[in-house]
Every structure is written in C-alpha cells, then in structure tokens.
Amino acid sequence: RNYMRTVMGVCISLASVVVLLSPPLQGGVPLKSNKKEPTRTRYNSDTTAAELLTPPIQLSDLPLRRMRYMMLAYLEAAKSVLAKQHGAVIVKNGNVVARGHNRETCSTQRARFSRHAEEDALRNCPPHHLRDADLYVVRRGKSDDAPDIQLSQPCEACRVLIEACVKKYGLRHTYFSVNTKIDVELP
C-alpha cells in the first residue's frame, strides 16, 4: 500500500526514500565530525543512489519533524528561478534559524555565477546559531507532470564549506535528498 501524509499542506508519498545525513554523511561525501569516527569511504559522482543508501531509510521511518524540515527546504527550493532548484534550511532546537536557495549572483556575456542553497543558508545564519544545528538540503525537480525530489548531494565547494562549519562552529548534522522521484502534490 502506498501511504500518503500531509506535511505543512503538502502531500507526500511515504513509500519513497530520502537519505539522512549525519556525521559522517550516510550516503554522500563524508564530512568531518567533531567526534572520532572510523575510517570512511569516499563517494564520487559515479556512485549510485543504491550505494549511497546504507541501509535505505524509508520516508515513513522519518520522524514527522524531519519530514517537515525536508518539505520546508523543498518549498524554499521553489523560490529559485534557476533550472536546477535547490533549497536549504538550518534548524536548531526545532526552530528554523536560516533559509536559502540557489540564486544567480551575477552574469557576464560568457559566464553566469550562482550562489548555492547551502552557501545561501549558511550566509543567512548567524554563526552562534550553527552550534548543534542541522542543515537540510533538497533539490526540486521541474517536471510539468508533477514536481519531485531529486539528488541534492553537495558539490566540492559546498562540501568544504559544510566541513568548515562543522569544525569551526559545531554544525551537527547535514541531510540531503536523493533522486527518488518522490511525488509531491502542492495544494
């Protein structure tokens, strides 16, 4: 059976999978933690979603609050006017302390430059709010049929930025979406 749950007015399928990340990242490029961890495997761009899920986490297994934060990041991604829409929220003690989405910062005739959602959210967050906070990042698909959630694994620059926030400010966990084609029905 395919269960549906409404979170913040958005209906999502609970049969879909979302990867949760925590130091070290489960399913993605491992980030450094403040704690000593065993040696981690590095993943590259050829790593499949199935390899990233260890073990697979069903959306129905997520606490309702985490689903809510993922959906807030999804709604933040909808604010982006770029072709690949990413959204991010930073949550501390159950409160959203910063939001961000990818946006064009400047362009020339030869190049266009954008700020990634992770960077935007981290720039919007006062450093003292990063200690023990969680970062949620979601990529929103732009399908005419139905919007869906896609892989939002951090690029190398964002990974380095997140690692620096973990080390310097104590950012606790990072969560990002995977390419699972979660159907999202907006009201």
Residues 37-62 have pLDDT tens digits of: 433 344 444 444 444 444 444 455 56
Ranges of residues in the chain with a pLDDT under 70 are: 1-62, 107, 109, 143-147, 180-187
Residues paired with residue 91 on neighbouring β-strands, in sequence order: 96, 134
Token pair recorded at residue 58: 């069903």
Domains of the chain: 4-185 (3.40.140)
Token pair recorded at residue 31: 């980030």
Instruction: Write the single-letter amino acid at 32.
Output: K
Q: How far is residue 163's CA from residue 113's CA, in Å, rounded to a whole number?
A: 22
Q: Is 148 helix (H, G, I), strand (E, B) or coil?
A: strand
Q: What is the pLDDT of residue 186?
A: 43
CB 70 within 8 A of CB 92: no
Q: How far is residue 70's CA from residue 64's CA, in Å, rounded to a whole number?
A: 10
Q: What is the pLDDT of residue 169?
A: 94
> pTM for this structure?
0.65
Backbone angles phi, psi at 72, to 5 degrees: -65, -40
Give the alpha-carbon dihedral of 14, 17, 20, 21, to 10 degrees: -170
Residues 7-43 have pLDDT tens digits of: 444 444 333 334 333 333 333 344 444 444 433 344 4
> What is the 8-class DSSP label of residue 127?
G
